[in-house]
Amino acid sequence: MRDRRKAVLFDRDGVLNEDAGYVHRMEEVRWIPGARELVGRLTKEGWLLFVVTNQSGVARGYYTEEDVKRLHEAMNREFARYGGRITEFFYCPHLKGAAVPAYDVDCPCRKPKPGMILTALETYHVEKTAALLIGDSPRDVEAAARAGIRGFLFPGGNLEAFWETIPQEREVNE
Active site amino acids: 11, 13
Q: Which residues pair with 49 in a beta bridge?
A: 8
**How would you list the strands of the sheet with 150-153, edge to edge?**
88-92, 48-54, 7-10, 131-135, 150-153
Q: Which residues pair with 133 in a beta bridge?
A: 9, 151
Residue 76 belongs to what H/E stretch?
Answer: helix 65-80
Q: How far apart are CA 149 and CA 159, in angstroms?
A: 20
